Copies of this chain bind each other. A is one copy, B any other.
Amino acid sequence: MSISLERIHQLDRQDPLADFKRRFALPEGVLYLDGNSLGAQPAGAREAVDGTLEQWRDELIKGWNQGWFDAPERLGDLMAPIIGARGGEVVITDNITLNLFKLLGYITGQCSNDRRVVLSEGGNFPTDGYIAQGFCRLSGHEHRFLPEGSELAEYLDGVAVVVLSQVNYRTGRLRDMAATTRLVHDHGAEVIWDLAHSAGALPVDLTGCGARYAVGCTYKYLNGGPGAPAFLYVHRDHQGRGWQPLSGWHGHAAPFAFDADYVPAGDITRFRTGTHSALIYSALEASLTMWAEVDMAALRDKSLALSELFRECLDDLLKAHGIEDLTPSPEERGSQVSLVDSEHGYAIVQALIARGVIGDYREPGLMRFGFTPLYLSYEDVWQAARHFREVIESGEYRESRFQVRCAVT
């Protein structure tokens, strides 16, 4: 490849984030480029989970008064700086799908009757559209898609709320959150930002962008574990304005008064629903505590350097084999490289996985490679590119074992 291993080692020696790699429990022989889908395990996660298991065993029901009950808000406050929010603006709860439903109900409940449209993005992660459709069927709102690549301004008439991803899950394309938020507000609508592919991948500034509502998950770049709970953000000036429709007892103003009628809590707590799995917050807390030490500007620099390195190593190969590179330019990129081979994409990813190079596959034809600066070295990326080259040039991916489909892709 065009870049020497000697130069790569030099980059690793100069990397200000290099020490973080030791704070992850990484398996031997794996080059993990799928941290955009499920992050690696922080070294402290196991001890944290074991601690909660011991607490359940020994303290039993008393654990709810020993940090379990208020974990959604405590971890929300740990999460806040990572996304440019402030204390009391973030709660960790449920999953993105459910949190979107809550915000759709909360926002439309404040809208006048001439705004009846909920807009979601075509071509982006489908759960955002699915839940918008479920919401609209129940509430009587109208769901519309914003066609991929179209001008948002032309679709905002009559819109109450639009759900947008800051980073597209397929292409890795980054939206200008400040300009888009301003545009939506200027049209009298609201926007819910889905930060699933941006939180922990690049600096996010919800406050600076004037964003009022956001959701995101913690199991990708934020390393909270498989299916760790999601976050929900409401700007402090937009809290306390009404119900959210998934009104369970943990979101009540006085959950242990056991009153018959629901009265929403006055703060971010109202976005909680019923009882949460205390155990699962432990691993996430171990991770978020580590994240408090991360310099987000350095993270961004390394993220872009890693993805550029991968592309540079493969540029000639992709051209020669007709593999399309969807990856946007650095300033318009999240932290992933997206390649398309509609015929062989699935098999190429399977062949790479067999070599210990783990990326993922999304229909149709999309190979995604995520770059997580906390635990990927420059050499990891260089070696992954070398494997990619070998898989293609040898035709290894054509072996029949790489054509078998798994349930989860």
Name A residues whose Cβ lies closer than 8 Å to a Cβ of B.
Answer: 25-27, 30, 32, 34, 37-38, 40-41, 45-46, 49-50, 53, 56-65, 68-70, 94-98, 101, 105, 109, 122-123, 125-127, 129-131, 133-135, 137-140, 145, 217, 219, 225-230, 243-249, 252, 256-262, 273-280, 283, 353, 358, 360, 362-363, 406-409
Contacts and interface: CB of A to CB of B under 8 A. Distances in A.
Nearest to A230: B274
B246 A358 contact: no
Nearest to A70: B407
A394 B101 CA distance: 54
**Most chain B CB neighbours (cut-off 10 Å) among A62, A276, A280:** A280
Given A228-B277, A275-B227, A60 B45 contact: no
Contacts of A219: 275
B227 A27 contact: no
Q: A61, A97, A358, A362 — which one has the most chain B CB atoms within 10 A of its CB? A: A61
Nearest to A39: B60
A355 to B, nearest CB: 14
A134 B262 CA distance: 8
Most buried by B among A49, A95, A219: A95
A38 B60 contact: yes
A80 B45 CA distance: 33
B57 A131 contact: no
A132 B27 CA distance: 47
Contacts of A358: 60-62
Nearest to A284: B277
